Amino acid sequence: MRQLVVIGNGMVGHRLVEALCERDTGRTWAVTVLGEEPRPAYDRVALSSYFDGATEADLRLADLTGDGRVVLCLGERATAVDRQARTVTTSGGRRIGYDTLVLATGSVPFVPPVPGRDLPGCHVYRTIDDLEGITADARSARCGVVVGGGLLGLEAARALQLLGLRAHVVERAPWLMPRQVDEGGGALLGRLVAETGVVVHTGAVVEAVEAGADGRVARVRLGGGEVVDADLVVFSVGVRPRDELARGCGLELGPRGGVAVDEACRTSDPCIYAVGECASVGGEVYGLVAPGNAMAEVVADRLVGGRAVFAGADTSTRLKLLGVDVASFGDALGGGEGVVDVVVNDAPGRRYARLVVSDDARTLLGGVLVGDVSAYAALRPVVGRELPADPLALVWPVEGAGAGAGVLPEDAQVCSCHAVTKGRVLRAVAEEGARDVAALKSCTRAGTGCGSCVPMLKRLLDEAGVAQSRALCEHFGQSRAELVQIVMATGIATFSELIGRYGTGRGCDVCKPAVASILASLRGGHVLEGEQAALQDTNDHFLANLQRNGTYSVVPRVPGGEITPDKLIVLGEVARDFNLYTKITGGQRIDLLGARVEQLPQIWKRLVDAGFESGHAYGKAVRTVKSCVGSTWCRYGVQDSVGLAVELELRYRGLRAPHKVKAGVSGCARECAEARSKDVGVIATEKGWNLYVGGNGGFAPRHAQLLASDLDRETLVRYIDRFLMFYIRTADRLQRTAAWIEEMEGGLEHVRAVVVEDSLGIAEELEAAVARHVESYTDEWRGVVEDPDKLARFVSFVNAPGTPDPTIRFEVERGQPVPAAPVDLGLPVVGARVER
């Protein structure tokens, strides 16, 4: 077999070997991969998910060593290449011969030559080791500075926030992400990022990083004399190609560094190729994974006798940075002759769009989207092609306008990460039997990279006439909304009867809690009563939120955020007596964390006796109604926002729903309660109240949209009743209100027709359903405290009720108990609790 050596085990090197194994059906190549890191290849694009709880195993790419052709050498760096002898010398002292060599060495972070850049507490953001170092230093830090406001810099800022630090971003350019977005988009991006709590310094440079008495980072000095007190610095200024091996063996280099390659990705030595961030193609070094993957495909094809060429790359990007959606595609910044800009700058709506089109407005050349990037999936594939609609309609669509899947030609590329065209997707549907997104991913690899093309894959399935299943799970062929109608029509009150008459099998962890939620919404009763208790997931089963160390958090209801001093004192006493960690939440209430399961009823009794009740933080239910102080105290307030918030929270408390529901009431247009980020948002006007719906945080933030204006209090409550019950009856399982509105035929206009105009004639029924809930409401914590049978559930070990969980330990951080590292007791662990 011929010998191929690949230097570099990053994403592009991994894709090269994978593509070669797929093509080399004759098994003519034996492959040796040298990886400098001590771990197998992992997904660097998703690196920041490490701070969201992803593990190294979650990030790891597929193992390619299974069929015997690939040998992976980890923790072994290539130190020299001898082109005459065709050997590679490694840090372990080995000399490995090759017939063909591929350089996939990637890049290294650039750290500007500022004084103090090597102090303890300074980091780069490139590898898992880097992230572990940042995490370790963050434990003793309060504030961090990220130098660089590009893609990776903003990801680093979010990471610092997730680690509990106050984050600053310093960017030399006048706006953030200057390589991807223009000035207008950068201005909105900066405002949205600042709203997340990150302090943004644009048009600023770092002059020095200074140490404190302990020799570690203590402050960052900016140009103009500004000083930021900081304990940690992350440099994310850019990268440089790793071309030292090429330099050392005399290969030709690009004008700005990198290994010069031709259209076949071959270097000046015909036996050596280069791919990814270390390669310079026509003087251009690409810093994205999609061009690197395209180069990998070219080289794999060449190694088996093909004639593939690298004809440039799609550098489009779609990202969510600090919760803000950003996308750019094609010639995003424009500026040349013969082009026209189409710009929508909707500051109140928190969205910005710019399309760069030809001067005859017929060809799309590129664009920038900030805030709302829903048009990206349809716009990116038509770059360089004739526009499918009026340019303005593409970024400010009206009903029936815009760019959909149907207008794309079959050779349009819908997945830039793996160069998958619309035609290839449709062939997978017609010829390979793909009937859902998962099957398309398996057949074509589309959607397995950055994931931004997944919405387009769904549209293409629709275009191909493939009906997407709405079945709740394998045990019920009906959707959640259909099961709601069945329960309403038949009066069924138990899961066993419902699955016996309309389903199959015994149920699963999908349908059981979903049906439990339906029954709770329509039938009421305690969630731990009889058969209901066995249907609940962990949080609902224990009426508290399970934490990572096996303890639970207790969140009492504080309607509208209003609380008396006496009740505040009770919360403090309970937290002190049970040694609980206390945290004020974003929903204006206090979270008591660290309670063992057997302590929950004792804590609840103390709280119930003091007049508190469950805040339903554990349930898919209406949770909080946030408020500002309104006209009672604020000199700008025009209505009593606190009084309304308390009324609404007490009205809808415990109302079970397909997903969690949050609300907010602001006493004036200054919006201090951030009502437009809530599922139900109410903003006071001089004439009454404006009602907004469909705002969500989480993975896909959405701002609520105006449903009705200048409502009196009675009408407002009626509309909210209708909206919530309509959502509860028709949404899919775990579907937030924003997605529910977006996927509904007719969207917001249909919701308005049903809720405001009563187009379906069901308004009275929806209001009556809420009224029944209000009349039948009882506190779930009190229901446990007063029922010995329910109390018996709250033990760590059924066979040893008085025994506390030995794996639960605490450390002290900032004066409060926090989870300690787990101790290996030699016991089998199930979930977060130990079984004996």
Residues 6+ apart with CB under 8 A from 323: 158, 196, 697, 701
Domain 545-776 falls under CATH 3.30.413.10? yes
10-residue stretch averages of pLDDT, the chain, 836 residues long: 93 93 90 92 83 80 87 92 94 93 92 93 92 90 91 87 88 86 83 85 93 92 90 91 93 92 94 94 85 92 91 72 76 71 76 82 83 76 74 57 56 72 86 82 77 72 76 85 90 90 85 88 81 76 83 93 94 95 92 92 95 92 93 92 96 93 93 93 94 78 88 97 96 88 86 94 95 93 90 67 70 87 39 28
What are the beta bridge partners of residue 688?
685
Query: What is the rounded CA–CA span in Å between residue 130 and residue 134?
Result: 6
DSSP state of 467: P
CATH 1.10.10.1100 residue ranges of the chain are: 404-468
Q: What is the CATH number of domain 404-468?
A: 1.10.10.1100
Distance CA 674, CA 683 (A): 9
Q: What is the DSSP string of 190-245?
A: HHHHHHTT-EEEES--EEEEEE-TTSSEEEEEEGGG-EEE-SEEEE-S-EEE--HH
Q: At 526, give phi and psi (nearest 5°).
A: -75, 140
d(CA 786, CA 529) in angstroms, rounded, equals 13
The stretches of 635-712 forming alpha helices (DSSP H) are: 641-652
CB 552 within 8 A of CB 823: no
73 annotated as belonging to a binding site for a ligand: no
CATH 3.50.50.60-classified regions of the chain: 2-107+241-303, 122-237
Query: Is 278 marked as binding a ligand?
Result: no
What pLDDT score does 835 carry?
Answer: 27
473 marked ligand binding residue: no
Q: According to the model, what pLDDT value does residue 826 have?
A: 38
Pick the CATH number of 122-237 from 3.50.50.60, 1.10.3720.10, 3.30.420.10, 2.60.34.10: 3.50.50.60
Task: Give the closest residue to 711 by CA, choosing from 735, 734, 682.
Answer: 682
Rounded CA-CA distance 824/807 in Å is 8
Query: What pLDDT is stored for residue 742 in this prediction?
Result: 82
The residue with tokens 């610095």 is 233
CATH 3.40.5.10 fits 2-107+241-303, yes or no: no
> Is-contact 325 198, C-beta < 8 A?
no
Report pLDDT for 824: 39
The residues, any chain, with a CB within 8 Å of residue 87's CB and separated by 6 or more, are 81, 95, 96, 97, 98
Alpha-carbon gap, residue 385 to 410, rounded angstroms: 12
* Nearest-angstrom CA–CA distance, 717 and 737: 18
- The CATH architecture to which 323-403 belongs is 2-Layer Sandwich (3.30)
CATH 3.30.390.30 intervals, the chain: 323-403
DSSP class per residue in 762-825: -HHHHHHHHHHHHHH---HHHHHHT-HHHHTT--S-TTSTTPPPTT--EEEETTEEEEPPP---
